[in-house]
Structure formats: structure tokens, C-alpha cells
């Protein structure tokens, strides 16, 4: 995955945390779903551990809201990933609920929070996991929720592009 942050010392998992296996299983089931990445992007000078409580708050808000069949893990110091079955509206509502929790927190040090949902495609499920969410966030300022459909840049490559449609935080 296109991660800007290093692997955390403390990795949390839900239902085993195997996102790669989960996207393949979701695609094979022919159910709708997405890879959800939540990021807490530090603003200014920081140390990775400075935002640990905020990332944990996002995790604690996300896991109870996940529907059956979901798999999640902490991806990096500042990110969480989950493969979540469900229709787009339900998944956007889950992302918004977690974002509400983060928006209510005092931000010391300052950060912005984002949730990006990448649709899991039946013919290329792993593409959702390869989207560079940090790059997608260059198109938006402040906190954000977005939905995107990944696509391979070229045949046989791991490069994936994803145009993200940004959605209002309130719905």
C-alpha cells in the first residue's frame, strides 16, 4: 500500500486483520463493499507517538460500528484500514460517525482526519488496497470523507489511480 507512515510498534487487529484475504473474499462473495482507510494526518512538528491517543480513539469508534464480515487493522502510525461489506451509503455513514468522534476531540498536536472508502472491485479486489490515500488527500483541505473507484494505471502493474469524490462530513 502507498503509506507515508512507518509500521507502528503496536498493531491492532479485528477478525484477524488480514485485509488482503478479506478483499479477495469480499469480491468472491459478489457483495458490495469497500476498503476504508482512516488517517490522522499530523500538521506541523510532531513525533509519531503524539497522535497515538487520537488514532486509538478512531479505532475504538470504528470497530463497534463494523458490520459482520469486516476485517480491520492498524496500518501505520497514523492510519487504520478495514475491509467492510455493505452498500455505499451505509459505509459512508460509518465513516462519518468515526469522523464525528475525531472532530469532537481536542487536537493537540494539531491534525486533520480523513476517511477514504475505495470500492472493492470483483475483477481486481487488491486494487482497493493499493490506493495512495495520502496522495488523494492533496485534493482536499481539512477533515474529509471520500469515495473512490480504483483503477490500474497499466496492465500488469501494481500502480493504481483513484479519483476520489469528496462527500460532506454531515449527512
- The tens digit of pLDDT for each residue in 16-46 reads 999 999 999 999 999 999 999 999 988 887 7
Residue 83 lies in a domain: yes
- pTM of the predicted model, to two decimals? 0.90
Tell me the average pLDDT across 92-111. Answer: 94
Domain range enclosing 69 = 13-167
CATH no. for residue 62? 3.30.70.270
Residue 2 lies in a domain: no
Residue 3 lies in a domain: no
Q: How many whole angstroms separate alpha carbon 133 and alpha carbon 44?
A: 19
Nearby residues of 74 by Cβ (< 8 Å), 6 or more positions away? 8, 10, 11, 12, 13, 55, 59, 80, 81
Amino acid at each position: 500500500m502507498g503509506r507515508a507512515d512507518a509500521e507502528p510498534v503496536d498493531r491492532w487487529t479485528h477478525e484477524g486483520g488480514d485485509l488482503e484475504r478479506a478483499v479477495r473474499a469480499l469480491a468472491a462473495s459478489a457483495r458490495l463493499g469497500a476498503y476504508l482507510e482512516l488517517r490522522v494526518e499530523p500538521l506541523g512538528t510532531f513525533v509519531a507517538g503524539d497522535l497515538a491517543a487520537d488514532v486509538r480513539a478512531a479505532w475504538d469508534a470504528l470497530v463497534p460500528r463494523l458490520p459482520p464480515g469486516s476485517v480491520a487493522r492498524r496500518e501505520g502510525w497514523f492510519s487504520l484500514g478495514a475491509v467492510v461489506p455493505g452498500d455505499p451509503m451505509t459505509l459512508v455513514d460509518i465513516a462519518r460517525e468515526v469522523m464525528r468522534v475525531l472532530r469532537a476531540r481536542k487536537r493537540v498536536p494539531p491534525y486533520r482526519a480523513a476517511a477514504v472508502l475505495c470500492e472493492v472491485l470483483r475483477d481486481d479486489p487488491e486494487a482497493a488496497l493499493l490506493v495512495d490515500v495520502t496522495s488523494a488527500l492533496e485534493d482536499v483541505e481539512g477533515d474529509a470523507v471520500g469515495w473512490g473507484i480504483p483503477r490500474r494505471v497499466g496492465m500488469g502493474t501494481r500502480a493504481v489511480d483513484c479519483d476520489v469524490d469528496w462527500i460532506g462530513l454531515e449527512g
